[in-house]
Structure 1
Amino acid sequence: MRRFAAAAAFLLLAGCGGTGDRDDDAGKRDKVAVGVIAIIDVAPIYLGQAQGFFGQQDIDLTLTTAQGGAAIVPGVLSGEFQFGFSNTISLLLAQGRNVPIRVVANGNNSTGDAANDFGGLYVRADSPIRSAKDLGGRTVAANTLKNITETTVKATVKKAGGDASAVRFTELAFPDQVPALQAGRVDAIFVVEPFQQAAIAAGARRIASPYAEAAPDLTVAMYFTSQQLIAEDPELVTRFTTAMRQSLAYADTHPDEVRAALGTYTKISPETRDALVLPRWPVEVNRGSVTELGRLAREDGLLTAEPDLTALLPGS
């Protein structure tokens, strides 16, 4: 595959990959690297790889785990990855800075059920905090600052009638959040699966589900590529998108196989995998929810102008 001009440096962790089985001559396939994060959200691409959807499109797929979506964007621009996975706010921020990328497929969505989503806002069982309204003046742990966690938590606080501007956020990796909550170093944490199960096991109490409450059927993350690859090899982009859409549809209707696939690229125990609340994986991007996230990001000062969704989203 073609390489692009070097972009900003970024940190990569160990990755893994494989191929599908359209025929026995993998040398005829396009080698495609995708930057992902080792979380449940990306289960469809691993499941689609195992099902042979990418091999059927003559794609020899390699999946490489990166530290986060913000690191994957420069990886796609540099040509280290042909495609990448990132949360919606990171992509909106990139588009707002005129970074030449475009979404090619949906990633994952909230369940839409505030009582049963794959991410939640938790406090200690003995906390005086009863709802998101009470978070003003309190400290909330987020895995990344100035991103989708902060945006959706603030939106939830506002909807509950609280002062979102008075919420303090501190950056903590997901594995460190439950211990910090138990020790009283933070007042609340926002965690996604499987860390949500750890919070529940520790006796934490859910007070809100920011993804489910920020917007109906929230598109949390998406797959994207560079404008340069679209211009130079649109046929490859089409084939990747076809395989990705197949993978999303399959994952959304085969939850047991998703749970099994998680055992191939994460260290989540079988018992925890069985208890997980899975996100939804609709084939189509929920444009309305992306619009709402853009509005919220502008309200919070993350974006200085309305994002150009026509330039960013597929089918525009």
Structure 2
Amino acid sequence: MLRNATRTVRSRSRRTRLGILATSLVMLASVSGCGLLGGESDDSSGGGDGPLEQSKLTVSIMPTIDLAPLHLAMKNGYFKEEGLEIETVSAKSGQASLAKLIGGEVDIAYSSYSPFFLAQSKGAANLKFVADASSAAPNSTLIMAMPDSKVQSVQDLEGKRVGITALGTIIEVLVKSTMQANGVDFNNVEWVEIPFPDTAAALQNDQVDAAFLTEPFITQAEKSVGAVPVADTAKGPTKDFPTAGYGSSADFADKNPETIAAFQRVMQKATNEALADRSKIEPLLVEHSKIDADTASLATLLTFQSALDPQRLQRVPDLLLEFGIIEQAVDASQMIAQPSAD
């Protein structure tokens, strides 16, 4: 059985849902007693164009697969080569990670993109993206069901119980976009909020008819309960859709351009290496994502990213606005920290 915290959320009016999201943002903003980060500096020098304004960076992270390049960079000493020392702080979710940033606990936060854009659109924070992390690759973000489920195709989702981690997330956008592209009314769906680790059991116990999963939970659900793919959400309008990245406060990015540039150089180097040789990151998936070696070898990885493309990133707030998750348009290009010089 799922924990009592698992709750069913039926489709609600746009106004009601936005009110709930706005309340969540107020709670998120209230974590900070001092506002945005101040960007205090250290006297240190790195491998870039000038001395680093700050040599030590604190980064909030989660046990997700797309953080493999960051772990690779730390393991291989790439940050030290640039004069940087990285301290990581664990967060339970993207919203929790962003709360640590707004509260001044960390300098840089890793999260899916939804919390960043939601906070920016509501004025809860003034943020800058410092590096991309991942985008949806084919078969890496799936709607899944049991073989005998009532859901055998996207068209079968209407009127069914669909599991997602939470409303107002990238997951909601991916599922709704996939349904819309296939002519399916997503307003006639019973959304069931379930944490990823509990989703396979929810499918097996018929608590949902279908559910969204990403790796390593796709592979784990296939192995543990025999779940099968229903639809790939990384197709059509959400092909190569940006899923997660790293952000800081705008104040921190503006006051620490050389430090941010050094972080960007390291992440680009590690990302290129991870893309070129998967064998270098599979042991890191076992160590940091807490999965077994077999799952690490079988999992279909998200596409690792590092460079921030404003046109590509704009797809996220545009869809968030289309589906009513944010009320105000956001210009993604204005949220990108100045890239490092070649």
Could you state the TM-score of these two structures normalised by the residue count of structure 1?
A: 0.86
* 1:141 and 2:157 aligned: no
* 1:286 Cα deviation from its structure 2 partner: 4.5
Mapped partners of 1:196, 1:294: distance in 2 = 26
- Give secondary structure in 2 for the equivalent of 1:175: helix
Q: Residues 96-135 of structure 1 correspond to what in structure 2 (within 5 A)? A: 96-98=121-123, 99-111=125-137, 113=138, 117-135=139-157
After superposition, residues 181-192 of structure 1 pair within 5 angstroms as 181-192=203-214
Per the TM alignment, residue 78 of structure 1 is displaced from its structure 2 partner at its CA by 2.4
Runs of 4+ in structure 1 displaced over 4 angstroms? none
Any conservation in 2 of the 1:139–1:170 contact (CA below 8 Å)?
yes
Q: For 2:246, which of 181, 205, 223 is the aligned residue?
A: 223
- Determine the C-alpha separation between the residues in 2 that align with 1:122 and 1:178: 9
- Name the residue aligned to 1:14: none
Match of 2:300, SS state, is coil
Find out whether 1:68 has 2:114 as its counterpart: no
Aligned AA for 2:155?
K
CA-to-aligned-CA distance 1:223-258 (integer Å, 9 cap, x gap):
111112123222211211221221221211121111
Per the alignment, residue 18 of structure 1 pairs with: none
CA contact (8 A) 1:123 1:188 kept: yes
Alpha carbons 1:69, 1:87 under 8 Å: kept: yes
Q: Call closer, same or farther: CA 1:303–1:277 in 2, change over 3 Å.
A: same
Q: Which 5+ residue runs of structure 2 have no aligned equivalent?
A: 1-27, 33-45, 48-52
Structure 2 CA distance, aligned partners of 1:273 and 1:197?
Answer: 9
| Equivalent residue number for residue 13 of structure 1 | none
Partner Cα distance (2:108, 2:151) in 1: 42
Aligned ranges for residues 20-35 of structure 1 at < 5 Å?
A: 30-35=55-60
In structure 2, what is the Cα distance between the partners aligned to 1:253 and 1:212? 24
What's the offset of the Cα at 1:7? 5.4
Which letter does structure 2 place at the counterpart of 1:100? N
Q: Percent identity?
A: 25
Paired position in structure 2 for 1:253: 276
Question: Quick one: distance in 1 between partners of 2:281 and 2:232?
Answer: 22
Q: Provide, for residues 52-93 of structure 1, a one-character-per-residue CA deviation record: whole Å limited to 9, x for no partner.
A: 111111111112220111111121122211111111222221
* Distance in 1 of aligned mates of 2:337 and 2:210: 36
SS of equivalent residue, structure 1 residue 211: coil
Deviation string, structure 1 residues 127-185 (Cα, Å, up to 9, x no partner): 23222222111111111221111111000001111101112211111111111111111
Q: Which residue of 2 is the match for residue 56 of structure 1?
A: 81
Kept in 2, the 8 Å contact 1:218–1:286? The answer is: no
| AA at the equivalent of 1:307 | V
**Distance in 1 of aligned mates of 2:114 and 2:236:** 16
Cα deviation for residue 268 of structure 1 reads 0.6
Q: Matched residues in 1 for 2:29 and 2:315: separation? A: 30
Is it true that 1:240 corresponds to 2:266 in the alignment? no
Letter in 1 for 2:96: A
Quick one: structure 1 residues 314 and 252, their matched pair in 2 at CA, closer, same or farther if it must change by over 3 Å?
Answer: farther
Distance 1:48 1:213, change over 3 A: farther
Change (3 A) 1:156 1:273: same
Aligned length: 292
1:162 equivalent in structure 2: 184
Aligned to 1:43: 68
1:284 Cα shift?
2.4
Q: Deviations over 1:277-298 (max 9, x none)?
A: 1111133234444323322211
CA distance 1:292–1:173, shift in 2 (3 Å): same
Q: What SS is found at the alignment partner of 2:246?
A: strand
CA pair 310-286 structure 1, distance change in 2 beyond 3 A = closer
Q: Distance in 2 between matches of 1:105 and 1:124?
A: 37
